[in-house]
Amino acid sequence: MKRVLSEQELERRRARQQLEAMGIHPYPYRWEVTAHASEILASFDDARHQPRENGPAPEPYEVSIAGRIMTRRIMGKAAFFDLQDETGRIQVYVRRQDLPEGFYDQVFKKLLDIGDIVGVKGYVFRTRMGEITVHAQRLELLAKALRPLPVVKEQDGKVYNVVTDKEFRYRQRYVDLIINPEVREVFRKRARMITTIRRFLDERGYLEVETPVLQPVYGGASARPFITHHNALDMQLYLRIADELYLKRLIVGGYEGVYEIGKDFRNEGLSRFHNPEFTMLELYVAYKDYYWMMDFVEELLEHVAIEVTGSPEVQWGAHTISFRRPWPRIPMFEAIKERTGYDLYGKSRDELAAIARKLGLEIDDTMGSGKIIDEIFGEFVEPHLIQPTFIIDYPIELSPLAKRHREKPGLVERFEVIVGGKELCNAFSELNDPDDQRARFEEQARLRAAGDEEAMQIDEDFLRALEYGMPPTAGLGIGIDRLAMILTNQPSIRDVILFPLLRPEQPAVPASADGADQAEASES
RNA sequence: GACCCCGUAGCUCAGCUGGUAGAGCACCUGACUUUUAAUCAGGGGGUCGCAGGUUCGAAUCCUGCCGGGGUCACCA
């Protein structure tokens, strides 16, 4: 089945055929670019470049630019169009008399459209209306657009006919990027954010590494994995849910600081805070503990906020979020007590369940004490923590890879950073006692046997590594997408991931040569 | 997975107490040599998400399905 082409698509295919008939290649090979829109606008100097009466001859400002035609204003023998390149838009002035015989009337006016990519050579001047403009002396088609571009016009900062359909924007992100400059800016900021983090870590001597995405045993977090298969070895493999266990092997190996920025995959639901594949930073530093890591994260995130937004104070929706150091450090049980009035420390599983029920939560018999505490925290505390806040000292049941607290029995040395009511970072003093780690894994195995699909698998090779001795180590994970949401003021994770996961559209239908045939048929 | 909202031209939308579709931009034809949401005159373009049902008649009412958004649940 062939896709039925719209009137405008037929028109553009007809134009393409006519161009070819005239000997104009609709998809040529190369164009020399010497300037971009924003630099031209910034560097044009009226005193030097603009001709004036009785003045000295202006110094020619010649440029060769390339980009997409975004708007056109055609008059009889001359026309203006806006050309958009990566840096922005600049106006181009075209006159019939400046171009080869017939080009203006037959090619530019009839066969070029909004959305086509062109190259322009010419000189820069300022029009009577005061707009810096490239006067074209040469104009070439560089790529014919066969689909019409949704046109966005603007005047006095008011924008008309903006594409607001989220589905359209996510599925055809390439179009979203063409027509929405603020979307281009979001992903520039995201890149700047990651570059800043990387530089910060590199400057401190930490080694950037790459560990396996395909893993025979998955671990490092509680989540359901994606499962795949390797044919040659005929074995089941998992897409990683975390980098943690491999990075700690590298600490065993003698590197004293390692980090990885990469994708993790979790087979869970989608929401404005969750995408099945997402980007995580994990960092492990030898001879440090979680107190040191709290200082480190504060410094890192304050620095990143300033580099990306220009200020440690960041606007996110209705909130102004301040990454300025220091941030409050609140033990989990204190935070819960403050919000609910209940002190959960030392309470038995059944006491916890009773309290949770009194608070209106649904508790079933399969939930352990750690799970119940987590429920209470997630319901009554987390959503209220808008400013960056360290929540510290978690129940041991929730943290099978964290070291026991040096003073508080039943707890581990772990912190999360909550920002905007959501977890942004997770860190601990890493468990390096191999026997304790084995016991924790075995507890996870019991949970798994009892039906907890998110419980961890026992990783024998990781235990073997620990048995060779891992130094005291502090570890950290940061959700890069969530950080990007806050630093770019976006409400949904889909707005900071270029191609978020969506259900597939109807079967993709090709627009084949049939379209061109239709175009011919419609002419006769 | 549950609930709520949405799906009409390439884009933004109107039409929805039932009488088989409209506007602006975009597109096509013509006019116009400094325009800028260019302007002026004329014109074409739609399986109204899909499939059933009710009805003489459905974009409109009902049911189911598909896709998207949001909230909840799980999770980072």
> Does residue A518 carry a pLDDT above 60?
no
Strand B proximal residues, A:225-284, Cβ < 7 Å: 266, 268-269, 271-276, 278
> Does residue A447 carry a pLDDT above 90?
no
HEC string of A197-266?
HHHHHHHCCCEECCCCCEECCCCCCCCCCCEEEECCCCEEEEECCCCHHHHHHHHHCCCCEEEEEEEEEC
Query: How sure is the predictor about A254, in pLDDT bands with cuts at 50, 70 and 90?
Result: very high
CA distance A69 to A90: 10
Query: How sure is the predictor about A91, in pLDDT bands with cuts at 50, 70 and 90?
Result: very high
Nearest to A134 by CA among A142, A125, A143: A125
Per-residue model confidence (pLDDT) at position A507: 46
Contact A119, A142 (CB under 8 A): yes
Among all strands, which nt has the closest C1' to A95 (CA)? B33
Per-residue model confidence (pLDDT) at position A119: 97
Strand B proximal residues, A:63-102, Cβ < 7 Å: 71-78, 80, 91, 93, 95-97
Nearest to A297 by CA among A310, A286, A281: A281
> Does residue A92 carry a pLDDT above 50?
yes
Per-residue model confidence (pLDDT) at position A487: 95
Give me the count of residues in chain A.
Answer: 524
Per-residue model confidence (pLDDT) at position A506: 55
Q: Dump pLDDT digits (tens) for A298-320.
A: 999 999 999 999 999 999 988 89
> Does residue A157 carry a pLDDT above 80?
no
C1' (B42) to CA (A72) span, angstroms: 20
Q: What is the rounded average pLDDT of the residues A11-39?
A: 96
More confident residue, A365 or A381: A381
Per-residue model confidence (pLDDT) at position A521: 32
> Does residue A370 carry a pLDDT above 80?
yes
Q: Cis ω on the peptide bond leading into residue A312 (within 30° of 0)?
A: no
Mean pLDDT across chain A, nearest whole number? 90
Q: What is the rounded average pLDDT of the residues A461-489?
A: 96
A25 touches strand B (CB under 7 A): no
Per-residue model confidence (pLDDT) at position A508: 43
A451 touches strand B (CB under 7 A): no
Among all strands, which nt has the closest C1' to A378 (CA)? B75
> Does residue A509 carry a pLDDT above 50?
no
Q: Dump pLDDT digits (tens) for A44-57.
A: 998 899 888 777 88
Helices A369-380 and A332-340: crossing angle in degrees, nearest 10, is 60
Per-residue model confidence (pLDDT) at position A14: 94
Query: How sure is the predictor about A232, in pLDDT bands with cuts at 50, 70 and 90?
Result: very high
Q: What is the rounded average pLDDT of the residues A217-239?
A: 91
CA distance A334 to A373: 12
Query: How sure is the predictor about A122, in pLDDT bands with cuts at 50, 70 and 90?
Result: very high
> Does residue A517 carry a pLDDT above 60?
no
